[in-house]
Structure formats: C-alpha cells, structure tokens
C-alpha cells in the first residue's frame, strides 16, 4: 500500500516523540480522515461511461488541538471504516515517548461512534469526545460509557462546550498541510521598478471575490528609509493570474488624512449588506521609531473610490 502514497504524503516526517504535551502534561487530540485519489488517469472515461470510480487512499490522523501537530497517522484503502482505525491512532501516541504521554480527551465525529471505541477509551482512562449518531438511545447492548454520552448529548450545546468539541476542526487544518500545493508560477505579484511607490516590495494582501472577480488590495513599499507604505490594487478572473491597476501612476489608496501620514498598511476586506468595508493599520510615527498602531476604516463599492470613516480602535503597541 505504501508504494501508492503520493509524494507529498510519503515525505512527511511525523515525529510524535517531541513537543506534544500541553502545559499541564495532558493533551487533547482530534481524529479524522480524508481521501486522496491514487491517480487521475482515465477519469474522463469513467465519468463519461459511468464506470465505478477507481479506489482511493484514506489517510487517518490524530492531531494535537493546541499545537496542531500530527501525532499519529495511518494509511488504508477506502474500504476500511474510520471507526476501526481509532484505537491504532491512539496506541501509536501512547507507545511513543516511553508512555509518558497522558491523553486527556479524544475528539471525533459520528463515524467513530462504536461500542468498541468507547470501551477502548474507557480502558485507557481517556475522556470520549465522540459525537453520538443521530437518534441514538440508551441500551443494555451499549457500554456504560456510551450510554452516559447518549444522555449527556441530549443537551448537545452544553456537551459540546464541556468537551471542547468545536476544536475538532484542528484535524481538518492539519489535512490542509498535506493536500495543499503551491501554485507553480509563484509569486503571483511582484514589485514594479517603474512605479516609485511599489518598486521595493508588495506583500500583506487582502483578497475578495466580488461580482465574479477576485479583487486584491496589497501593501506596497517604494523606499526603505522612512518605510512609508501605500495600498495597491490588482484583479484576477481565476485567482491565480493578477493584473495591477492604479490611477495613472498613483496607488489606489495613499496617505491623505493627518492620521495616515506615516503610512497605511495591511488591508483587510469584508462585505456587509452589499457594502465593502476596508480596514487598515495606521502607525503613530515612522517604523524606525517603534510606533503604536491603530485601525482605520473605509468603504467602497467599486475599488476605485474610497470613503474614509476614520479611526476605529485605540492605539496599541
């Protein structure tokens, strides 16, 4: 099976023997799985003729919800149910570091709901954070631990908060590091030596998909002596290839008000009720003078004309 694992997965160096304890020596782990296709070859033919799709790999992981580290990993084919792998993931962690690890709780979704798993966690003195399947009831066929969870989850919001079940998404975050690949033509935006205000650096962008187009506002620097930055604009139809636009040779947004005179930087975008809001950082003095910073707000509807609304936060260092 290992020979089929994709290159990104096969080169992962997962060291579960270090940096996996919380401050109190206990850890809470989130368990989940994801699928990865073995190959795309013949996919069009299978789709066209409705042929049963080729098998895929399932990657099962246990991640520390605090550090987001992957502590345990198992690879199976698609026929192996998630519930059958949970005990292996936990055992991998317990066997590492000479059994000095104390797992406080395990968080998992309903696919891990089985009497076997509840019994295993009870034997290991690990608190279960497994979501019970819908319409489950207490039964003499269930373990005592599972029956207890059925009763507790009748008040699901209270149970969710007590078990920290909302942190289960940490496992999905870990998966993104496995599946994510860099765009082959990075960087997507570079300085323009012919424009004085962005000749040195472009970075810290905000991107919004609006009216069928990707709009990017980015921080631009044209000199390093005073390090006064401005905001440039670029757009894209696909989110990969961006073209810049400025008002003539000027940035889309530059220091104008007295509170902006030292620079404007780090734009962030959000749409509320069909109105686009731009927040940005404004320092109290030049960068080399260790300034305090605050946040200002502006609005726009076309990414060309901006209405400044002023400072919205107090200054902090």
Q: What are 25-58's pLDDT values in tens digits?
A: 689 999 999 887 665 555 555 565 666 555 678 8
2-179 and 201-311 share one fold: no
On the question of pLDDT at 246 being above 90, the answer is: no
Our separate counts of H helices and E strands in the chain read: 7, 13
d(CA 89, CA 82): 11
How does DSSP classify residue 32? E
d(CA 92, CA 82): 16
What sign for the dihedral angle of Cα 230, 236, 242, 244? negative
Phi, psi for 170 (deg, rounded to 5): -60, -35
Which residue ranges make up each domain of the chain? 2-179, 201-311
pLDDT at position 168 is 85
Please compute the mean of the pLDDT values over residues 167-194 and round it to a whole number. 80
How does DSSP classify residue 177? H
On the question of pLDDT at 260 being above 80, the answer is: yes
* CATH number for the domain formed by residue range(s) 2-179: 3.30.420
Q: How confident is the model at residue 2 (pLDDT cuts 50, 70, 90)?
A: very low
The owner of tokens 């901006």 is: 306
Q: Which CATH number fits domain 201-311: 3.90.420.10, 2.115.10.20, 2.40.50.140, 3.30.460.80?
A: 2.115.10.20
H-helix or E-strand containing 171? helix 169-179
Decide if 85 contacts 74 (C-beta within 8 A). yes
Most confident of 1-10, 73-82, 163-172: 73-82
């Amino acid at each position: 099976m290992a020979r089929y694992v994709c290159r990104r997965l096969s080169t992962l160096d997962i060291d579960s023997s270090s940096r996996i304890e919380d401050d109190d020596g206990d850890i809470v782990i989130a368990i989940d799985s994801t699928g990865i296709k073995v190959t795309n070859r013949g996919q069009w033919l299978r789709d066209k003729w409705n042929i049963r799709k080729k098998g895929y790999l399932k990657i099962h992981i246990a991640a520390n919800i605090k550090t987001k580290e992957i502590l345990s990993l198992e690879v199976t084919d698609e026929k192996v149910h998630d519930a059958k792998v949970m005990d292996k993931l936990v055992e991998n962690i317990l066997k590492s570091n000479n059994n000095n690890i104390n797992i406080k709780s395990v968080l998992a979704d309903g696919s891990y709901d089985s009497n076997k798993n509840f019994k295993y966690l009870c034997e290991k003195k690990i608190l279960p954070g497994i979501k019970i399947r819908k319409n489950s009831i207490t039964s003499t066929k269930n373990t005592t631990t599972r029956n207890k969870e059925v009763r507790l989850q009748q008040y699901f919001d209270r149970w969710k908060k007590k078990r920290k079940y909302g942190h289960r998404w940490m496992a999905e975050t870990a998966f993104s590091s496995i599946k994510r690949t860099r765009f082959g033509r990075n960087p997507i935006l570079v300085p323009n030596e012919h424009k004085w205000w962005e000749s040195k650096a472009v970075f810290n962008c905000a991107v919004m998909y609006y009216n069928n187009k990707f709009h990017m506002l980015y921080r631009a620097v044209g000199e390093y002596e005073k390090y006064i930055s401005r905001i440039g604009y670029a757009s894209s139809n696909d989110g990969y290839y961006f073209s810049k636009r400025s008002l003539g040779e000027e940035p889309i947004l530059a220091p104008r008000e007295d509170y902006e005179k030292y620079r404007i930087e780090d734009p962030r975008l959000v749409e509320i009720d069909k109105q686009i809001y731009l927040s940005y950082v404004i320092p109290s003095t030049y960068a080399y003078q260790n300034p305090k910073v605050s946040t200002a707000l502006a609005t726009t509807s076309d990414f060309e004309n901006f209405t400044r609304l002023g400072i919205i936060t107090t200054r902090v260092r």
